[in-house]
Every structure is written in C-alpha cells, then in structure tokens.
C-alpha cells in the first residue's frame, strides 16, 4: 500500500503559484508584497536567477510601484518604465532593474488591500496584454483565499494587543466590588473585585481577559487589576476579605508575590479562574505556598461548570469552593442541579472547605441553598458589583 504524503505547506504552494505566473508571463521576477504600517514588505519571491531582495525585506510603500498601482497613477501593464517619469525617479527602478512590469492588487474578502502581486522583466516588453492582467488577477484572488485566515488572525492579534496596551499603559481599568454575604442573615463576609473596561461592542470582561492571554498580556492585565483592587482595600469594612481573580499562568510567574506586597494576606482570597486543564499543579502549589502560609486563602471558581474546576479542587486543595452560577440558576426547579450542589457541599464539608454559591438571584434559589447547608453566596439578590466612590 503506498504511503500517503502530507499536503504541501501553504508557503510552498504560494511560492509555486508565484513562480508559475512568472514563467507563464515570461518575466524575470515575480513577487507578493504586503502593505503594513507604510511599508511594502516582500513576502514571496521567485526569480530566474538570483533574488533581487530577500523575503521580509521592506521599503517605503510610497516609493514603490505597488502604491502607484493601488492609486491608479500607473496602469497594471507597464511596457517600459523609462517612459513614465513617475517611475524613472523611483530608486527601485534602477536598483531592481525594472523595465516591463505587471501588477494587480491582492484584496481580501472584506475589500481591504493585503498588498500586490507583481512581476517584472529587466527588458522592455510589448507583448503584455489585458488577458495577462486577468490571469494575474485570478492568481491574486487564489492567493488572497489562501492567505485570508492567517492575515485576519494576525490583524485580530495586533488589534487586541494594541487595545490591551492602551488599557494597561493608561491604567484604564476600573474595579467594581460585589459583596459576598452570609446566607443566614446577609452579613457581608467579603467582596469580589471585578474588572470593568472601556466600552467596546460585544466585548465583556471575560473577552478582554481571553484576548489578553491570547496575545501574551494576560498576566500584565491581571496584575494591574490586582494592584488597582488592593488600592481600595482600606475602604472596605475591616472584617471583610477581598477576593482577587488570577489565572494559573500568573501564579506561575514571579510577579504575583511582589504585587501583593505588604497587603494583609489574611484579608485576601485568590480565585483561580482558568477553565482549561492545567498540568503544572505542583508548581502552582509551590508558588502559592509562601502566600498561603502568610494567611492568604485560595478559592476555586466556577466549580460545577466543567471538568477542569474539579481537577483544580483535587490538586490544589482550596480553602473555598465557589459554585458556578450555571449550577445555581433555577436550582429550585432542577433536581439535578440540587444533587450536584449537595454533593459538592458534602465534599467541601469533608475536606474542610467553605462553599460560596455564585449568581444567586431569587429568594427561591436562596431557600434551596440554605436547605443544602451552604453558608455564603453572592449575586444580584444581595448586591450588584459597584465602583468605590
């Protein structure tokens, strides 16, 4: 049975398309350029002989044939660059020995210009026709289809990184505090610090933090939120603790202990917020050991929402288990939710953990939670997150 070969990498497919276009048009050089931040960046190049520039080389977009093609100041077909004053004065005309030139834009599906697909000869040519432009345009559309997802991902990454840098550098983050109360009488036990961001359509706090971790700014953002939350600790009732959200990635870093600094650890709770499985449990436990010996408590957030939270509970041995709001919502109407909440409450009691029910919104839910022996909760029934004055 013949061995099945893996498909060729996208890079090699594009390189082959570029070289095929060059050969079909009897040109010396063909290339794909990308426009970015005022530069023309050569991405894929094929040549009959030595490459005139290497992939990754960049020069000013304003000094390129590519920009003139997009502007419409030169036609797609240039039989001889020397009869165009606008082209004769460009440095690249002599440096790259461009005489005949053919170029078309590469447009993504949203109409934006990625760059250009160009080829040129070191000699004048009178043989280029509109059918050649159409052929290049077809190649350009094919290449755009192949590049689209990568380009859109890169643009989304850059936009998210810029957005987050503005928030982090400008400290443009507000902290709201939501009370955690005793279910028996409503006494305030503590507050959870919740981040609030500049308004952006369809982007809540969870999306901001997801984006931050995706672009390697997650720990920076979490540490800023912790710093700002600690700034209002003195304004909270002295008997109330402050619960701070933190991911395993931030715990594994060296900056968390420094950021907590001289804060009273016995008034702090760290909530581990990661939903994905974590493998470095021993390292996380070691990173928290000194803080926990100093009085800090550990909570596992979103218990009951998925497998990862159960692993966190078993591996990290928290002081507090927070039952996810999806488990609490309409618990008075759902025997399954009640059974799971009861099991987690029994587990917590047997292992010496406290339980906090999240997302409590109705008196009926409160009644069931009291009946299960759950002592603490938070949710709109007790108070919405509020900014400190």
* Euclidean distance between CA atoms 211 and 203, whole angstroms: 10
What is the C-alpha radius of gyration for the chain, rounded to an integer number of angstroms? 30
CA–chain centroid gap for 260, Å, is 26
Task: For each of the domains in the chain, give its residue range(s) and CATH number, in order of start.
Answer: 10-151 (3.30.450.40), 171-387 (3.20.20.450)
d(CA 207, CA 146) in angstroms, rounded, equals 28
**pLDDT score recorded for residue 1:** 45
**pLDDT category, 11, cuts 50, 70, 90?**
confident
Separation of alpha carbons 5 and 2, rounded Å: 9
Q: Per the structure block, which two tokens stand in for 94?
A: 């002599």
* Strands of 77-78's sheet in order across: 58-60, 39-47, 29-36, 113-121, 100-107, 77-78
Q: Residue 5's pLDDT band (boundaries 50, 70, 90)?
A: low
Give the C-alpha distances (Å, rounded to integers) separating 330 from 334, 367, 368, 382: 7, 11, 10, 16
Angle between helix 130-169 and 205-214 (nearest 10): 110
pTM: 0.78
Q: Would you say 317 and 283 are in contact if contact means Cβ atoms under 8 Å apart?
A: no
Cα-flanking dihedrals φ and ψ of residue 15, to 5°?
Answer: -60, -40
For residue 384, which of 176, 184, 238 has the smallest C-alpha distance? 176
| Cβ count within 10 A of residue 250 | 24
- Each residue of 247-293: pLDDT tens digit? 999 999 889 999 998 899 999 999 998 766 677 899 999 999 999 99
Compute the distance between CA of residue 156 and CA of residue 154 in angstroms, rounded to an integer.
5
Give the tens place of pLDDT for each residue, 309-336: 888 888 999 999 999 999 999 999 999 9
Tokens 């406290």, residue?
354
């Amino acid at each position: 049975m013949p061995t099945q070969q893996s498909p060729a990498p996208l890079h090699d497919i594009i390189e082959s398309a570029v070289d095929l276009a060059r050969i079909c048009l009897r040109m010396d050089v063909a290339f794909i350029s990308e426009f970015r931040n005022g530069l023309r960046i050569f991405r894929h190049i094929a040549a009959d002989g030595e490459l005139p520039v290497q992939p990754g080389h960049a020069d000013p977009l304003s000094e390129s044939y590519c920009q003139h093609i997009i502007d419409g100041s030169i036609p797609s077909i240039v039989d001889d660059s020397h009869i165009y004053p606008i082209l004769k004065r460009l440095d690249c005309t002599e440096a790259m020995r461009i005489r005949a030139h053919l170029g078309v834009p590469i447009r993504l599906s949203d109409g934006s210009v990625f760059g250009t697909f160009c080829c040129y000869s070191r000699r004048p040519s009178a043989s280029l026709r509109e059918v050649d432009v159409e052929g290049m345009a077809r190649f350009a559309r094919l290449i755009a289809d192949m590049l689209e997802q990568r380009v859109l991902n890169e643009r989304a990454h850059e936009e998210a990184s810029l957005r987050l840098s503005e928030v982090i550098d400008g400290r443009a983050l507000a902290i709201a505090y939501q009370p955690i109360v005793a279910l028996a009488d409503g006494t305030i036990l503590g507050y959870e610090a919740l981040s609030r961001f500049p308004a952006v359509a369809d982007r809540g706090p969870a999306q901001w933090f997801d984006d931050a971790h995706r672009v390697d700014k997650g720990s920076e953002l979490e540490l800023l939120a912790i710093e700002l939350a600690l700034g209002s600790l003195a304004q909270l009732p002295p008997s109330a603790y402050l619960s701070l959200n933190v991911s395993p990635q931030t715990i594994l870093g060296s900056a968390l202990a420094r950021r907590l600094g001289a804060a009273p650890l016995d008034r702090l709770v760290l909530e581990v917020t990661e939903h994905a499985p974590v493998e470095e449990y021993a390292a996380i436990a070691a990173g928290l050991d000194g803080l926990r010996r100093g009085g800090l408590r550990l909570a596992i957030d979103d218990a009951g929402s998925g497998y990862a939270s159960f692993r966190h509970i078993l591996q990290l041995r928290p002081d507090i288990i927070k039952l996810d709001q999806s488990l609490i919502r309409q618990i008075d109407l759902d025997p399954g939710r009640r059974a799971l909440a009861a099991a987690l409450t029994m587990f917590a009691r047997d292992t010496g953990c406290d339980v906090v029910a999240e997302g409590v919104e109705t008196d009926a839910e409160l009644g069931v939670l009291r009946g299960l022996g759950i002592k603490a909760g938070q949710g709109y029934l007790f108070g919405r997150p509020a900014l400190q004055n």
